[in-house]
Amino acid sequence: MHARIQGNLRISNPAPRVGDIVDVQIAFTDSDADVGLPADPIKITTPLRNAGTVWIGPFTFKIDGQELVTDSISVQVEEELNFNVNLFSVRQVTHNGENYLITEHVAAKPKKGKPKFARLSKTNIAPGLVLDEITSSETYGGSKNYAYVVYKIIKNDDFNKARQLLQPAAAQATPLESNNGMEKILFVALMVSG
């Protein structure tokens, strides 16, 4: 009888919304396996249809009589955005013990050309923190002009617990870079606990 081989699941977007399609990666790393394991992660795409906590997995595969089983992961799925308004959203989420910052921008359709999306400026980040962009996407067309960016929040050695992520902006500075004519973007201060 063959032993079970455990696989790990990872998702591409740690904070999806209803209607998003997420990529699930499955990696098997057991060096004692009796069968040849895939060298690259297996990728599965799945649409998200409901808000709330969604569980993905476990998945079971059989190769030459050997059972390959994955773990399962929970994902917090947010409600779908209203694409009929001009909006910029910033939210912080924790997924698998890691902190992420997600920016989303729904832009009005310009008279000509593509919309220009606002992006977070990384020049006003508190000392000891780094925002590492891990994924982004822009969608154009019809009434859906939408962009999102997912940043992983990395704490350096000099990070102090419960420090403010975005420092209050001085009068001449803004936490956002905007070149699309948005008249007002509210400053959002988020906390990261350590």
pLDDT higher at 117 or 178: 117
Q: Tell me what pLDDT residue 181 has.
A: 36
Tokens, residue 150: 């997912």
- Residue 150 predicted with pLDDT over 70: yes
Give the global pTM: 0.69
Average pLDDT over residues 102-106: 89
* Choice among 11-20, 104-113, 119-128 with the minimum mean pLDDT: 119-128
- Residue 51 predicted with pLDDT over 90: yes
Cβ contacts of 45 within 8 Å, gap of 6 or more: 21, 22, 23, 24
- Residue 52 predicted with pLDDT over 90: yes
